[in-house]
Structure 1
Amino acid sequence: MGKQAELADFRSRWTGHVPEIQDIRARYAVLVPLVERTEGLSLLYEVRSEQLGRQPGEVCFPGGKMEAGETPVDCALRETWEELAIPPQAVEVVAELDLVTHQGGFVLHPILGVVDPGAPIVPSPAEVKETFTVPVDWLLEHPPAVYTYDLLPQVGEDFPYERIGFPQGYRWRGGKVTVPVYDWPGHPIWGLTGRITRRLLEDMG
């Protein structure tokens, strides 16, 4: 017989624990960059390089996977420096925005920041095809079309329904994903980037 469980074991394991979201395999952070332009306050977006293996050519914010020991702000600023050569000291961090959880098993931390309008923007060709800005006023005046799709559970035939007391099967709960699409000419803004943009501008108009 193995070691008997004791209350002290639970106290040792869980006291001081910082709650996380279960089953999350990775964390990412992006900078949501506001920058002043002649056309007014704007959001800065990237187009991912066609050379990338994942999501080539898609519109996104600068960012990437958090490294061990990094805070979301540290990651967003580091990735912005690596991708666009905007130095961390040229970014005023305003706030950490609402987290985005993804059915793929990761959490995304959006960081709202104001970029010094005089800061250089030099895209790294290996990661960024180009950048563009969209006036905030345009985004407010042109709300996104919003689409949804269902996430349907696909349970294997070997699942032991009888053992758990549901011999006729169980009514598994599915889910829905919301996909906002902003029709910015030449570069539609959609997906997670669209969701972050939409949430950022809620109640701003």
Structure 2
Amino acid sequence: MKKLTLNDFEEKFKGRTPKTLGVYRYYSVLVPLVEKNGELYLLYEVRSDSLKKQPGEVCFPGGKVEPDESPEECAIRETSEELNISPQEIQIIAQLDYMHTYSNFTMYSYLGMINYEVVKNMCVNQDEVKEVFLVPVSFLAENEPEIYNFDVIPDVGEDFPYDKINSKTGYNWRKGKSVVPIYEYRGRAIWGLTGRITYNLMNIVTEK
């Protein structure tokens, strides 16, 4: 192998776009606002019972970001596919805060608007969506969710070579924390990442 020079480093990094280190995935969702009879609602989906992952759970429309699209394009495409509506029926208002999770993926979210007449007449994709329901924004603003916190603890195998890092008695691995808000609305639980996105949105819009 040839001796590396400063020029080698400069050439390799010239115009290079930084990317996430390690194995990482990216997802994006739409947080749909719907105005009905002068009142604002958030639209939620109930995932199909036939899905392998998280069947029957409440979520926002969305999915995995494809290599050739932006997170915003993903949110629009997935919403269009799941709700069986035209992308032109989705009006993006703003990008919301994004989350880096302990399970190696980033979740983007976008606040959007869908006309109630479209929602009233749409037939959702039953392969992915069991049903949709609307929650008044006023309910979410007036009712704080229950908040649960738990530690994310590294599970390091006994075969880790502590002797090679001069730490024969073990190592104080960094721990993480996760916050789980849970809203209850008419027998449905809005929780997990969907709950976190909802909670963050309501904190932003009600902040004085």
Residue 109 (structure 1) shift: 0.8
Q: Which consecutive residues of structure 2, in runs of 5 or more, have no partner in the other structure?
A: none
Deviation at 1:4, TM superposition (A): 1.8
Aligned equivalents of 1:39 and 1:134: distance in 2?
A: 14
The separation in 1 between residues aligned to 2:12 and 2:47, in whole angstroms, is 42
Alignment partner, residue 34 of structure 1: 33
Q: Quote the Cα distance in structure 1 between the aligned partners of 2:37 and 2:21.
A: 45
Instruction: Check conservation: 1:99, 1:108, Cα contact below 8 A.
Output: yes
Question: Kindly, what percent of the aligned residue pairs are identical?
Answer: 47
Partner Cα distance (2:155, 2:91) in 1: 45
Q: Which runs of 4+ in 1 moved over 6 A?
A: none
Question: Secondary structure of 1:204's partner?
Answer: helix
TM-score for both structures, normalised by structure 1: 0.93
Partner residue in 2 for 1:125? 126
**Distance in 2 (alpha carbons) for counterparts of 1:171 and 1:196:** 32
Say whether residues 1:175 and 2:176 are aligned partners: yes
TM-score with structure 2 length normalisation? 0.92
Give the aligned partner of residue 202 of structure 2.
201
AA matched with 1:77: I
Using the TM superposition, name which of 14-23 and 160-169 deviates more: 14-23
Q: Which residue of 2 aligns with 1:72?
A: 71
1:84 aligns with 2:83: yes
Q: Which has the higher helix share?
A: 2
Bigger drift between 144-153 and 4-13 goes to 4-13
| Cα distance, 1:164–1:46 mapped onto 2, change above 3 Å | same
Cα RMSD, aligned residues only: 1.5
Deviations 1:144-182 (A, max 9, x none): 110011111121122121221212211111111110000
Whichever residue aligns with residue 151 of structure 1, its letter is: V
